[in-house]
Amino acid sequence: MAIDFARTWLGTPSPGALRPFLAEGAHVGTGRAPGAGGEVVQAEVAAASGLGGGRWVLTVSCDLRDSRALDLVVPIIRRGADEVAALGAPSIVALPAAAGADPERPRPTAGPEAGAIDELVAKFIPAYLTAGSGQDLSYLLAPGSTVVPLAGALEAVSAGQVEQIGDGEGPRRELLVSERVHDPRTGATYPVSWRLQVARRSGRWYVAAVEGEVA
């Protein structure tokens, strides 16, 4: 299931295509289909970390048609031998190299509110990695938003860049956030990146969605 979910997320990331993979009550934003040559030609589960209560985090390794490779961390829940569903959006743990100019290439957070946005991210990422439930993140989430945290499956080692996709200074932003993390199960340390949708409500910034980054 995790492999098919990863393939769909990267290939045809529409709400209708993703819905059959989701657990009841799970919500994810849509991804962006890769450009030419970005189709998944091979995928396999490379690692699995049990969180208890039937919850797992699986790492799906994907080879793309243009010879790039990336890994996606997929949170799932297992109920019985045959009932498996995704709890949320995958997160990327190996970014493909960008080629050519991109009008949406990441750049420093824009405008006078850059400091407040970066401060939100600095609070959110550690909480996202360690929280046991979405309720633990409620103070940082926009009203009505649902995020499934990783519940200790990864541990923060050092913070990376916070960059903005596009150059707008409006009340909604799309960010690319990087972090170096440690996997306590395998002992591995590696970089992770997420797309964060953030929004300003009543003068304060909140996280509205977390998505895996795709080319």
- Owning domain of residue 48: 2-92
Are 119 and 206 found together in one domain?
yes
- CA separation (Å) from 2 to 58, 77, 139, 142? 7, 11, 30, 28
Q: Which of 37, 63, 92 is the last residue of a domain?
A: 92
Assess if residue 177 is contained within a domain: yes
Q: Which of 70, 92, 114 is the last residue of a domain?
A: 92
Assess if residue 97 is contained within a domain: no
What pLDDT shows up at residue 104?
A: 56
What pLDDT shows up at residue 140?
A: 95
Are 74 and 169 found together in one domain?
no
Looking up residue 67, the CATH number of its domain turns out to be 3.10.450.540
Are 80 and 116 found together in one domain?
no
Are 70 and 110 found together in one domain?
no
Q: Looking at the 3D structure of the chain, how many domains does it have? A: 2
Are 110 and 208 found together in one domain?
yes
What pLDDT shows up at residue 178?
A: 85
The DSSP secondary structure of the chain, one letter per residue, reads -HHHHHHHHHH---HHHHGGGBPTT----------TT--EEEEEEEEEEEEETTEEEEEEEEEETTS-EEEEEEEEEEETTTEEEE-S--EESSPPPP-S--TT-EEEPPSTTHHHHHHHHHHHHHHHHH-SSGGGGGGGBPTT------TTSSEEEEEEEEEEESS--SSEEEEEEEEEEE-TTT--EEEEEEEEEEEEETTEEEEEEEEE---
In this predicted model, what pLDDT tens digit does every residue of 54-97 receive, in sequence order?
888 888 888 776 666 778 788 888 776 667 888 777 777 654 44
What pLDDT shows up at residue 213?
A: 38
Are 86 and 120 found together in one domain?
no
Are 32 and 67 found together in one domain?
yes
Can you give the pTM of this predicted structure?
0.58
Q: Which of 40, 64, 92 is the last residue of a domain?
A: 92
Are 148 and 191 found together in one domain?
yes
Encoded amino acid at 56, one letter: W
What pLDDT shows up at residue 100?
A: 47
Would you give per-residue pLDDT tens digits along the chain (215 residues)? 788 887 877 777 677 787 788 877 766 655 555 554 457 778 888 888 777 778 888 888 887 766 667 787 888 887 766 678 887 777 776 544 444 445 456 788 989 999 999 999 999 999 998 888 888 999 999 998 888 788 887 788 888 889 998 878 899 998 988 888 887 766 777 777 788 899 999 999 999 988 753 33
